[in-house]
Every structure is written in structure tokens, then in C-alpha cells.
Amino acid sequence: MSNTAFVFSLLAIFCWALGALFDKFAVLHLSPTTTFFARFYLIFVLIFPFLILQWDRTRQSFLQLDRNVPLFVLGSVVFTMAGLYFYYHALSGSEASKVVPLCSTYPLVAFLMALVFLGETFTLNKLLGTLLVVGGIFCLTR
């Protein structure tokens, strides 16, 4: 992994950790469904100017790509939104210190899916690393 990728990974981890705290604060005051939709309303308002500025570039990229690419993007959006919806419901019913780590076991599923659907190579180091992460998360949620 390059240093740049590592730094961006650390920044993502920090932002997601802060996001989880704010998610918990939100579901303490709002229903999970309201929190889910409020989040997307705010995202839309905040990102709208950037959507306008990037419209031509994004449209051109989509027109030049394989016909399946929009389906891949759609799948990404649908499954990410569904996961977030379920996450809010889980977060509203339990402690953040348990829900967040448990929901973070997705690397194991992603590892297996990457092997099957993306044809990525299996190595013992990848398996061991994934199992250690998931094992640590399992310990945290007990």
C-alpha cells in the first residue's frame, strides 16, 4: 500500500468514527428512518452545487463507458443506502460501541466476495489479516 493510500485510509477511519458518533447522537433524538432521510436531504443540499459543476464531466464519462457501469454505480448506491438504513436501526437499539464494530465486520464478507466475484488472489496473509480484524471486532462486541 502506498503512503498516500495509507494516509487517506487513516483519514477515512477518523471521519467514519466521528460520523458514527454523530449518527448515535442523531438517533437519540430522531427515529432511524427520519435520521436516514434527513441525512440524504442534507447531502443533497450540500452537494447540489458540485453536482451542477460536474454534470458535463460525469455525463461524458458515462456515455463513453460500458453499458454495465451505470448498473454498477446503481448497485453501489442501493446497497450502501440499504446498509446505512439497517445500521441506523441497529444503532437506535443498542450501544454505538457494540453496533459500530459489529457492522464493521463487512471486511470478511468483502474478502470472500472479492475472491469469488472479482477473481482476486487468495493468500494466507489476506485471510489471516481479515480474520484478525473480525476476531478483534467480535471481542469488542461481547
pLDDT in tens, 67-100: 888 888 899 899 999 999 999 999 999 988 888 8
Listed as own residue / partner, the contacts of 24-28 with beta carbons closer than 8 Å and 24 or more positions apart are: 24/91, 24/96, 27/88, 27/91, 27/92
On whether the CB atoms of residues 62 and 70 are closer than 8 A, the answer is yes
pLDDT of residue 66 exceeding 80, the answer is yes
Q: From CA 108, how far away is CA 18, in angstroms rounded?
A: 23
Burial of 32 (0-12, 13-18, 19+ CB in 10 A): buried
Q: From CA 9, how far away is CA 16, in angstroms rounded?
A: 10
pLDDT of residue 140: 74
Break the chain down into helix, strand, coil percent, rounded to 5.
85, 0, 15
pLDDT of residue 41: 94
- Of residues 45 and 127, more confidently modeled: 45
Q: What is the chain's mean pLDDT, rounded? A: 88
Percent of the chain with pLDDT over 90: 45
AA letter at 47:
I
Listed as own residue / partner, the contacts of 80-87 with beta carbons closer than 8 Å and 24 or more positions apart are: 81/40, 84/36, 84/39, 85/32, 85/33, 85/36, 87/23
Copy the grid coordinates of residue 27: 438517533
pLDDT of residue 10: 83
Question: Residue 111 — very low, low, confident or very high, per pLDDT cuts 50/70/90?
Answer: confident
Copy the grid coordinates of residue 55: 454534470
